Amino acid sequence: MFDIVEAKVVRDYILYLRFENGKEGTIDISQVIPFSGIFEKLSDPIYFSQVQINKELGTIVWENGADLSPKFLYDTIFDEAA
């Protein structure tokens, strides 16, 4: 239910995500994570735009190993929309 099946960069730090249950929405990643530690590289918009989907994990990932829980992303998108 929470697996991400589509991800697109809308603009700097904002992603459009579609989940396997058909729900979709956008999230501003800069508002939900600090750009420190493993997420530090994501502060570079060009690096951020290289987001990919890892089908095994069902979530978004970056080459440096950074990823975010699909449930966290789902809850954040749809709790804010409520």
Evaluate whether 23 touches 5 at the Cβ level (below 8 Å): no
Q: What domains are defined for the chain? A: 4-81 (3.30.2020.10)
Residue 76 clears pLDDT 70, i.e. is over it: yes
pLDDT band at 80 (very low <50, low <70, confident <90, very high): low
Q: What is the model's pLDDT at position 81?
A: 52
pLDDT tens by residue, 16-67:
999 999 999 999 999 999 999 999 999 999 999 999 999 999 999 999 999 9
CA distances from 1 to 42, 72, 75 (A): 26, 12, 12
Q: What count of other Cβ atoms lies within 10 Å of the Cβ of residue 48?
A: 21
pLDDT band at 5 (very low <50, low <70, confident <90, very high): very high
